[in-house]
Structure 1
Amino acid sequence: MAAVSLGTLVIQAHAGHARDAASAGTAGFATDDTAIPDDTVLMQELEKSIDLRRREDFDRMLDARDPGELIEHATLTEKALDRRILGIDALFVVGDELFGYLFRPENGWGSGGTDRKAIDYTPRLRRIHRGTAGGPDAFGCFSCHSKGGLDGAGTQSQNAFLRGDGERTGGADQRNAPHLLGLGPIACLAREMSAELQAQAAGARERAKAEGHRVEQALTTKGVSFGRIAADPDGTLEYGSVEGVDPDLTIRPFG
């Protein structure tokens, strides 16, 4: 009886594995159920794409005739930004134009002599950065941010070698170009969190000075705890109990 029961369990187990294998095998041939747009919608999208290409070609011709035409649409003065002259949609267009702009020596691309418009001007390229300066690694932002689509990440061959000695890859900080989709809000959130943590540390320092004794302050922002910080009456801060953030209390979501 025990043997029969055991055999039944084994058969059921094999049957289950067979069904799972069959499901896995057919999954590779499954079709996408997403509805294909009708011809009217496809024609509208095609017309938009053609119109965009024509406008881009026209802009390039204008820039060839009058150098600097394209960069005018891809830049924004700090005064205009501070005064909020442009709306969000316009700012997006400016940023998108800057992202797709192919920089030239007269725009600051490369390093070398001061007369960048000279016929014999040749930028000195440095694949491995020397200290904080180096490159250029490409002519435009999109050259290293295309994996997975527009504004995507970079391939391994597009890695940047930062903070090096200008010669050896082993001594540089090798970084891969990250994707750029939705990173703006994350960067803004990191700034807010950093400001709150630093304000808490400054408050602890002022309290310690005013009260004349050691003060401990919990570091918490946006519901996330980063340990505790201690302040002495002389203004010295103790970071031994700080967790998950550097002593400067700056949140770095991108490393």
Structure 2
Amino acid sequence: MIITTKITFFLILTVASTTVVHAQTPELEKRLSPRVTQEQVIHSSVRQVRKNGLRIFATPFTEADGLGSDSSGINGQSRPAIFGGFARVNGLDSQSCGECHTLQSADSIPNRFAIGGAGAQSNNLIASQTLSLDENFTGFYFNPIALFGIGGAQLVGFEMTAELQLLKATALTNPGTQVWLTAKGVDFGVLVCDSSGNCDFSGVEGVQDDLVVRPFGHRGSSPTFRQIATGAFVFHFGMEPVEIVEGAGLGPDPDGDGIENELLLGEISAMSIWAGALRPPVELRKNASARRGQQLFEDPSLGCAGCHIPQYVTNTPVLPFAFPEVPTDPSANVYKEINLRRFHYPRASSGIRVRVYSDFKTHDMGSDFSSIPVPFVTAKLWGVADTAPYLHDGRATTLGAAILEHGGEAYFSAAAYDRLSLEEKKDLIAFLKTLRNPRRPNRGLAPRSLAWSNEFVHSWSEDEDSEAYDD
């Protein structure tokens, strides 16, 4: 995307998008308290860890916590301070995770809110590869996604990765043999290795050469929430998790703000477990129109379900959390586990059902999708009715518009949708409108001061939860 802008534009964005922290604050207040260590996470109950994780996610950080300009180079991009220390472009754009991940439903008027939800257009992350305030720059807008169900998606990704690693081992022990990379029914191409242990990855598709499935980030950049969180703290707040600082060997205070241990291992762990235990999106009962729309969605001639695969069944309901993480081996260094059946995932044989509507692969979406030619991971459609605006940059305000924006590998599906009759399009949208976010993702966890929207979120009746997973 090419964005032409002036300093005035950035000033407007900054003022509109965040609460400003002034450098001359007369009395600094440390908000991240009490601190959470890794030992506390290991030995505390899952419920207590989740409560701490939610608290950290919702905390509005101050300079006393380490908020502010990052001169360490960890972020790796220029970040000129525009107003009050905030840059808005390339980060330094907010005080808390909860500022952008707030929408439980954008489909209702007024919107409903919940901690861990999606974000509006004004919450977009703005990242530029090259930035000059006097010239055009090429960069990304990324719209915040909802975190609901992230644990189930992470577990599916782990099991896919484990299958792909076994297939790679098969290729290494059978030199010259083509090994088809199929994990949980998803085709990732073909791999051939020689007797020296060198592998030809030219036939691999939708996954990086390390064969690690990365369900998270619009571009499929992260296999776990922990990886997302550590990068987000540096990018958005200029706060450096201990695990990044120590891993880079930059000393205890690389940004020189006088604050050490800005985010402890246990604090990232607590957030990871809180996110992993968030309830998954649900499916409402379908009327006749929605049932017809589901048939269209699953029709191979339309092709929606070819990439937006509706459901996976896991081998186990247990989601492991590890540190340090080994992307190729999710079972390494596990410090805590949670059983996702406790968090409203439907039981299925020995595991759970994860109705995520994605193949977890990256795809070429065409030159009109982004000015920078990179693949994008298939969007998870669960909860899609509540998460407008759509696409990676929020350019599509409706589901129909989002479908028509598909290009590249998905062009023929978009063209097939365009050829549908008006009634068929209405049926397909009616089906997508049954894919809803959970109504109380933090029920029984958030204190009233963090519930934010008691008037709206808590006004939904209990029996509505029974509408989920009607199939």
User: What's the TM-score once normalised by structure 2's chain length?
Assistant: 0.33
Aligned to 1:86: 44
Partner in structure 1 of residue 125 of structure 2 = 160
Tell me if the contact between 1:200 and 1:219 (Cα under 8 Å) persists in the aligned partners.
yes
Q: Provide the residue aligned with 1:243 in structure 2.
A: 205
Q: Which of the residues 37, 45, 54 maps onto 1:77?
A: 37
Q: Which residue of 2 aligns with 1:230?
A: 192
Q: 2:58 aligns with which of 87, 100, 103?
A: 100
CA distance in 1, matches of 2:204, 2:70: 45
Q: Which of 149, 152, 177 is 1:182 aligned to?
A: 149
Following the alignment from structure 2 to structure 1, what is the Cα–Cα distance between the partners of residues 36 and 185? 36
1:107-163 CA-to-partner distances (Å, cap 9, x unmatched) read 12111689xxxxxxx97322221xxxxx22111111111222212111111111235
| Structure 2 contact 131–137 (Cα < 8 Å) conserved | no
Q: Is the 8 A contact 1:112 1:123 kept in 2?
A: no
- Is the contact made by 2:181 and 2:191 (CA closer than 8 Å) also made in structure 1? yes
> 1:228 and 1:96 mapped to 2: Cα distance?
42
**Does 195-204 or 160-169 show the bigger shift?**
160-169
2:89 counterpart (120, 128, 132): 128
Q: 1:252 aligned to 2:252?
A: no
Cα 1:105–1:166 change in 2 (3 A) is: farther
Aligned residues: 170
Asked whether 1:171 is paired with 2:138, we answer yes
Structure 1 runs of 4+ with >3 Å offset: 65-68, 166-170
User: Given that residues 128 and 167 in structure 1 are in contact (C-alpha distance below 8 angstroms), is that contact kept between their aligned partners in structure 2?
Assistant: no
**2:118 & 2:127 partners in 1: Cα distance?**
17
Give the distance between the partners of 1:113 and 1:164, measured in 2 at CA. 17
1:144–1:177 Cα contact (<8 Å) kept: yes
Measure, in 2, the Cα distance between the counterparts of 1:222 and 1:105: 46
| Counterpart code for 1:95 | G
Matched to 1:142, the amino acid is: G
Distance 1:138 1:214 in 2: 52
What are the superposed Cα offsets for residues 145-194 of structure 1, whole Å, 9 maximum, x if unpaired?
A: 12222121111111112353344674222211101112132123213322
Higher RCO (Cα < 8 Å, 6 or more apart): 2
Partner SS, residue 88 of structure 2:
strand
| Secondary structure in 1 matching 2:32 | helix
Q: Structure 1 residues 244, 167: closer, same or farther in 2, change over 3 A?
A: same
Is contact 1:128-1:165 (8 Å) kept? no
In 2 relative to 1, CA 155–167 (structure 1 residues): closer, same or farther, beyond 3 Å?
farther
- The 2-side partners of 1:248 and 1:154 are apart by 31
* Counterpart position of 1:195: 162
Consecutive unaligned residues in structure 2, runs of 5 or more? 1-26, 73-82, 106-112, 220-471
Which letter maps to 2:184? K
Q: 1:128, 1:164 within 8 Å by CA — same for their partners in 2?
A: no
Three-state SS of the structure 1 residue aligned to 2:179 is strand
The alignment's TM-score, normalised by the length of structure 1, stands at 0.57
Pair 1:123–1:237, CA change in 2 (3 A): farther
Distance 1:153 1:101 in 2: 17
CA displacement at 1:247 relative to structure 2: 2.7
Paired-residue identity, %: 29
Query: 1:146 corresponds to which residue?
Result: 102
Larger Rg: 1
Cα separation, partners in 2 of 1:90 and 1:166, compared to 1, 3 Å: farther
Aligned counterpart, 1:17: none
SS in 1 for 2:148: coil
Structure 2: which amino acid aligns with 1:173?
F
| 2:189 partner SS | strand
